Every structure is written in C-alpha cells, then in structure tokens.
Amino acid sequence: MLLEVRDLHVEFRTRDGVAKAVNGVNYSVDAGETLAVLGESGSGKSVTAQTVMGILDMPPGRITAGEILFQGKDLLKLKEEERRKIRGAEMAMIFQDALSSLNPVLSVGDQLGEMFTVHRGMSKKDARAKAVELMDHVRIPAAKERVKQYPHQFSGGMRQRIMIAMALALEPALIIADEPTTALDVTVQAQVMDLLAELQREYNMGLILITHDLGVVADVADRIAVMYAGRIVESAPVHDIYKAPAHPYTRGLLDSIPRLDQKGQELYAIKGLPPSLMHIPKGCAFHPRCPMAQDVCRTDEPPLYEVTPSDGERGSACHFWRECLHG
C-alpha cells in the first residue's frame, strides 16, 4: 500500500476550547488508485490531508494519535528534514486557489524551473526547457511563449494546469488535490479533472481528491470516503455508492447533485449545518440532521459496520445501514 492513514486524531486548541477536527480516520491509497474524500467544510478532510503532507500548523494543531504510513514508513516519526525531502519529491499537493499558491512576482517558467534547479541540480537553461515541456504536457497552448508570463496573466483553468504541472514536476508517487476545480467554471472543471485523471494513470500515481462535490468524482475515483465531523462515515468503491448509499449523509450528498435530466427541479439540501467541532453531538454525530434517526442514534456512536454485498471493501457508520441501502 502506498499510503495508509491509521486511526488519526487531530485537534486544535482555540480560545473557546478544543476543536476535534479529526477523530479516528482510517484510509488508504495504492499506486494508480484514486480516492475521493468527500465532505462539507469542517468535516476534517483538508486537515487530514495537511497532516499527511506535513503542512499542518502546529500549534494550534496537534496530532494526538495515529500513524501515517507512506511507502511503509510512519511519517509522524520522521524528522522535519526528512519530511521536507518527501514533500514535493514523493508527494505533492494541489490547492483550490492557484493564484495565492503561486508566487505572483516570478514567471511561471521560473517557478516550474526552480523545481528542477533546486531539487534536481539542473542548469537554468535545462530547467527552463523542462518547464516548457511540462506546460506542454498539461496542455497549455503556446508554452514556449507563455513560460515567460506571470500567474495573473493566465485564466483560472490555465493556472490550475500550472499547479498540476508543479505538482507533477518531480514525478511524486502521491498527489493530494484539495478542491482542485472548485473555483472554476463547470466546463473548465471537467477539463481540469479529466487532465488530472489522465496524468494520474500515465504516471501511475496515487491520487487523493478532496471535494465537497460528489458530482465531480464519479468518473475519476476508484473509492470514495465520506467524512462527517472528523470521521469517515462511509467508505466504498465508487460504483457501490452511486448504486445505493449505505449512509443517510451520503444519500443527502447524492440527492443534492444537480442532474441534467431534472433541470428546473428544486435541489435537495441536507437540512441544518455541520456541528461545531467543539461540541460534536453524542451518539451519531449526524443525528440532529438525519431523516432516519432513532433513539439509539442519540446515545450510541455507530462503529464502521461492514457493508455487504460490495465490489470491494465497504463500511458505513450508521446503525441502520441496511435500511438506508434498501430504502
């Protein structure tokens, strides 16, 4: 297994108390596999990813338990210097907002080139040639001319391609993309997502795709992990989820995807808001919003039940997963 996150717990100390952002997350990704991590903001999906990358702000963040095994090594036991070597070269991250992730005063060619001069000891000239090659590879037209331009001179979609090129530069084994297309128009979103999926196959990388939008992952993900209040509430092969969700929260997310065949219909929205991570409800954290909640849900926290039948491994943290699956 390329990456295995085991029983990860992360909390934040705030003036108002301790926010429990990640509460026992388990997931894994293999080479050539795409895992979509889905959830609303505050579900812990980004915090988990930042912890894997080793870019979590500590303090206020604190890892209270867990292991992150990457190519067999527990990253949480490595020195910062060793982690820095892994970052960029072995694992890279793509963020939602390319404009604030790229350096505004350096040309994109200089930024891409730096990956090769700094990490690979290449000459400036060779690094520039590599930069053009990469821009071509992520299908930026007229790469030879545009390599001299600055980030603000590119459209949102093109900037996101530059981010992808930066992430790919050192051919990492794992890429984590946090809402990579959220800021883009729908058509551009699809193009960038297709490109990412294509490159992932070409390089046989593991890809973790973090998103709040179940609609964008159907065609690209192998597995989906749905997070709520810092836990994974459903984990399954992608086809299983689209066939029938085994958790009411996943069902709510599915029902809120706009569908072309239902134009004009009012979209379903899950009622209420995600809980404060300082006051996670007892029992099932989703119970105040769940249309299927029973008394037991308010007292007993559901474990991740094994769901069968499944095309692979499947789990649901709902006492009533059978009813959900067949409802």
Residues 175 and 200 sit within 8 Å (Cβ to Cβ)? yes
Complete edge-to-edge strand list for the sheet that includes strand 305-306:
91-94, 174-178, 206-211, 34-38, 223-228, 231-237, 315-316, 305-306
Q: Which residues of 239-249 are buried (b: 16+ CB within 10 A; e: fewer)?
A: ebbeeebbbbb
**Which stretch, 14-22, 177-185, 260-268, 312-320, contacts ligand SF4 (CB under 6 A)?**
312-320
By CB under 5 A, the count of residues binding Mg ion is 1
Shortest Å, Cβ 303 to ligand SF4:
10
C-beta atoms surrounding 261 within 10 Å: 5
Residue labelled with tokens 């527990």: 74
Report the greatest alpha carbon distance in the chain. Answer: 68
Could you say whether residue 111 binds Mg ion (CB under 5 A)? no
Could you say whether residue 274 binds ligand SF4 (CB under 6 A)? no
Shortest Å, Cβ 193 to ligand SF4:
29
Which residues, other chains included, contact 99 with Cβ-Cβ below 8 Å and sequence gap of 6+? 151, 152, 156, 159
Residues 177 and 94 sit within 8 Å (Cβ to Cβ)? yes
Could you say whether residue 320 binds ligand SF4 (CB under 6 A)? yes
Q: How far apart are CA 51 and CA 282, in angstroms?
A: 26
Could you say whether residue 228 binds ligand SF4 (CB under 6 A)? no
The residue (of 60 and 272) whose beta carbon lies closer to ligand SF4 is 272
Binding mask 285-304 for ligand SF4 (x = CB under 6 A): -xx--x-xx---x----x--
Q: How far apart are CA 98 and CA 141, in angstroms?
A: 18
Which partner, Mg ion, ligand SF4, none, binds residue 292 by CB below 5 to 8 Å per kind? ligand SF4
Could you say whether residue 46 binds Mg ion (CB under 5 A)? yes
Could you say whether residue 319 binds ligand SF4 (CB under 6 A)? yes
C-beta atoms surrounding 179 within 10 Å: 19
Could you say whether residue 244 binds ligand SF4 (CB under 6 A)? no
Binding mask 39-68 for ligand SF4 (x = CB under 6 A): ------------------------------
Which partner, ligand SF4, Mg ion, none, binds residue 46 by CB below 5 to 8 Å per kind? Mg ion
Task: Please give the residue ranges that form the binding site for Mg ion (CB under 5 A).
Answer: 46
Summarize as ranges the residues that interact with ligand SF4 (CB under 6 A): 247-248, 284, 286-287, 290, 292-293, 297, 302, 318-320
